[in-house]
A = this chain, B = another copy of it.
Amino acid sequence: MSELTLTSLLLLFPLIFIVLTSAPPTIASEAATKGYSKSIPRFLGKFANPNRGKSFQYETRYFEQRLDHFSIADLPRFRQRYLISTRHWTGPDRMGPIFLYCGNEGDIEWFAANTGFVWDIAPRFGAMVLFPEHRYYGESMPYGSRDKAYANAASLSYLTAEQALADFAVLVTSLKRNLSAEGCPVVLFGGSYGGMLATWMRLKYPHIAIGALASSAPILQFEDIVPPETFYDIVSSSFKRESISCFDTIKKSWDVIISEGQKNDGLRQLTKAFRLCRDLKKTEDLSEWLDSAYSFLAMVNYPYPSDFLMPLPGHPIKEVCRKMDSCPEGTSVLERIFEGVSVYYNYTGKVECFQLDDDPHGMDGWNWQACTEMVMPMASSRESSMFPTYDYNYSSFQEGCWKDFSVKPRPTWITTEFGGHDFETTLKVFGSNIIFSNGLLDPWSGGSVLQNISETVVALVTEEGAHHIDLRSSTAEDPDWLVEQRAFEVKLIKGWIEDYHQKRNSVFSI
């Protein structure tokens, strides 16, 4: 399931690399305000491949949805795709539960293929499995096609989390009614942005879903709730814990890249050194490419081999650092970096040359969401980060969004609509049945909930876990802590369902 949410996220800020060589953080900020830099955090890499992952049996169906659930405007409807399996469902009479995965920013088939946990446990619960697709992704395109849906800010304006939640609510309500299954309890699942949706759906639609397993859901990564350095600090410490020299090599490398690039013929030399397929036009493109690799490695730093964008060994950061550190004495910083990053971009050894991501700010759904609602401040600290120092700069972020989408971000909307500040106080006396599961190796864990809030709003934290590893299919290589974690999740979900039946019966017997 971790494939779910890769990142090409980091896209760190072109000019700051130059600044880094000579200037204090304030100048880094100045550079940022010039509009050269823009950060749109991402969970999911653009290389995400729907063909990877396990295949499970389901039917593909479509459901007609309103484009704006919250107004009466007469807009064209669209077809939402959803995957459904009733194979193990015990049905309405036995009140068989419905497991609903909250589709996130990508093709729903890919999420289905990579969320083995839900498929693994469904038979034990006699549960229906439902994977509705998020609007504006995969086949669920308003206005009839991706091109039309993504034409401009006006056509994209209904790509919001609240509308996606309402899609799920309307779909499952209608489905239950048609099956006379109104009494069947719905349990939500979601990883990463999907986990945020699962949390919010449980909070906003408690009458529709009895509980939510929100894995690696950084619902607190907004405004000033957690420090903006959190993400990169965790990436950095994931490297540092493996090897201080590895951390230092990476920390040094950004300056080296810039000074190499400034030399005569420097860009051509870098192109050659990093075996790039096309001539490097500016050093920032190379830095972003490396940056993405490190952040992604931290997210998928799993204890066993896995296969996402590309195949990776178990404990991949350990492997990257081993490669960097084991170079013979005298090996240059950039040669070490190349050795290390090849673990990520070329573990099979079959890649002949590397394609950089030339258009990290292109017209894609998550970029739009990050430029409108999902404004997650990101910064890189001077001391604890191995990345170039960067202060979060909202003005330059806003400028970038205007340039890319002609849209103005709504940085305070998510916390107004869903909460976030003082989250614990709210949930101590409100809400129930949410599991926040997080692995501390995952850089997104810093923006999630890591402590129990109440008896039924609980945090499951694993020290060795990375990005929503618990939602993946179980394997023979699963470490004990992961087996235990999943068993505990199953136990809690079972408790929700039993409690639901008990409460419901007591109401009906009054």
* Cβ B507 vs Cβ A425 within 8 A: yes
Chain A, 125-163, contact with B by CB distance < 8 Å: what is the 0/1 string? 000000000000000000000000000011011111011
* Cβ B429 vs Cβ A70 within 8 A: no
9 nearest CB pairs, A to B: A207-B419, A72-B157, A206-B430, A73-B157, A70-B70, A207-B426, A70-B162, A71-B157, A425-B504
Instruction: Provide the residues of chain B in CB contact with A159, threshold 8 Å.
Output: 72
- Chain A residues packing against B (C-beta within 8 Å): 68-74, 153-154, 156-160, 162-163, 166, 169-170, 173, 182-183, 203-208, 210, 372-373, 407, 410, 412-413, 415-433, 456, 499-500, 503-504, 507
Which residue from chain B places its CB closest to the CB of A410 in the assembled complex? B72
- How many copies of this kind of chain does the complex include? 2
Instruction: Provide the residues of chain B in CB contact with A426, threshold 8 Å.
Output: 206-207
Contacts A68-B70, A183-B422 known; 20 new A-B pairs at CB < 8 A: A68-B68, A70-B71, A70-B163, A71-B157, A72-B407, A72-B410, A73-B157, A166-B417, A170-B416, A203-B206, A206-B419, A206-B430, A206-B431, A207-B415, A207-B418, A210-B429, A422-B507, A429-B433, A429-B499, A430-B433
Docked pose: A381 CA to B116 CA in angstroms: 54
Partner of A153, one of B72, B160, B421, B424: B72
Instruction: Provide the residues of chain B in CB contact with A170, threshold 8 Å.
Output: 416
Q: How far is the CB of A25 from chain B (nearest CB, A)?
A: 27
Docked pose: A335 CA to B158 CA in angstroms: 59
With A74-B154, A157-B72 in contact, is A182–B421 under 8 Å at CB? yes
Q: How far is the CB of A399 from chain B (nearest CB, A)?
A: 17
With A71-B163, A169-B416 in contact, is A428–B207 under 8 Å at CB? no
Q: Which of A160, A163, A373 has the most CB of B within 10 A?
A: A160
Docked pose: A157 CA to B67 CA in angstroms: 13
* Cβ A429 vs Cβ B428 within 8 A: no
Instruction: Provide the residues of chain B in CB contact with A158, threshold 8 Å.
Output: 71-73
With A71-B157, A71-B160 in contact, is A503–B428 under 8 Å at CB? yes
Q: How far is the CB of A124 from chain B (nearest CB, A)?
A: 23
Q: How far is the CB of A200 from chain B (nearest CB, A)?
A: 11
* Cβ B507 vs Cβ A424 within 8 A: yes
